Amino acid sequence: MAVIISIVNQKGGVAKTTTAVNVAAALGAMGKKVLLVDLDPQGNATAGLGISGGAKRELEYTTYDVIMGEVRPAQAVIKTRFKNLWLMPSTQALAEAEIKLLKFENKNLQLKKAILQIRDEYDVILIDCLPSLGVLALNGLNACDRIIIPMQCEPYSLEGVAELIAIVKRVKKSSNRSLQVMGIVFTMVDSKLKVNREVMRAIKSKFPEDIFFNAEIPRNVRLTEAPSHGEPIMYYDPNSKGSEAYGQLAREVAKKCKAMEEML
């Protein structure tokens, strides 16, 4: 039975999709059977795995069709060219779901109902949530067991994460009792910038120490280039600092997943 993890931050530009794509690919390379669900109408995770432009237009089914209950989830899943990695792709059509779902009685539980149908087929299911806290994002929070919060080292980050954790607590209390924060990962870290370290120290002083991953994702040119080539960093440049960092993060995620499995 898969551990389901949503990658969440309502703030854009924090390497959320980069984290989702690269952790998924790294876990797959480690031998885990992984499904990446693209829950963002921008479809950046889909493009990051090599499906963009005309290939996107040729997709028969997407996350939109699944979340609207129009097809079985397995019908929308496609095998990527990367080891042990499957994808439920997304297109701009998913943006319509934000409005259409408002008419559904269980509008925040549509993705959960779908994911439960295929949960036993994978070891890990990662959900790349869109940068908001609307209906789609709440579907992502209700569908998962854990969340990973990518966090940029800047002064305003703390306020946003505090708001997100408060929402997680409300969702846990109201509709998803198993929901917990797996961890916070610092992204776009520039160790040469004093402000980065100051912000990180300030943020760490506000939360328990074990909520933070040891891995830190650096600012890295190769990480920035990889999505335009439709490849996770470990395939685009396996020797880059970005690849090493995401490899370390994936190993930490795998360890936490194993601990969860032993508890079940």
- Asked if 111 and 67 touch (Cβ cutoff 8 Å), the reply is yes
User: Encoding tokens for residue 163?
Assistant: 């708001």
Dmax over CA atoms of the chain, in Å, equals 51
Please name the residues in contact with 177: beta carbons below 8 A apart, sequence gap of 6 or more.
Answer: none
Phi, psi (5° rounding) for residue 20? -60, -50
User: Encoding tokens for residue 150?
Assistant: 């990518």
pLDDT of residue 264: 58
Q: Could you tell me how many helices (H) and strands (E) the chain has, helices first?
A: 13, 8
Q: What's the mean pLDDT when you consider all of the chain?
A: 94
What pTM, to 2 d.p., does this model score? 0.96
Ranges in the chain, pLDDT < 50? none
- Asked if 66 and 76 touch (Cβ cutoff 8 Å), the reply is yes
User: Which residue segment(s) compose the domain that 60 sits in?
Assistant: 3-263
CA separation, residue 104 to residues 10, 34, 143 (Å): 23, 29, 16
Q: How many domains does the chain have?
A: 1
13: left (phi over 0), alpha (psi -120 to 50) or beta: left
CA separation, residue 153 to residues 143, 225, 252 (Å): 28, 21, 20
User: Encoding tokens for residue 219?
Assistant: 């600012």
CA separation, residue 108 to residues 131, 160, 173, 262 (Å): 16, 22, 14, 29
pLDDT tens for 7-57 read: 999 888 899 999 999 999 999 999 999 999 999 999 999 999 999 887 888
User: Encoding tokens for residue 241?
Assistant: 């600092």
Extended beta strands in the chain, E state:
3-7, 34-39, 78-79, 85-88, 124-129, 146-152, 180-189, 212-218
pLDDT tens for 119-141 read: 999 999 999 999 988 999 999 99
| C-alpha dihedral (181, 182, 187, 192), degrees to nearest 10 | 100
- Domain holding 61: CATH number? 3.40.50.300
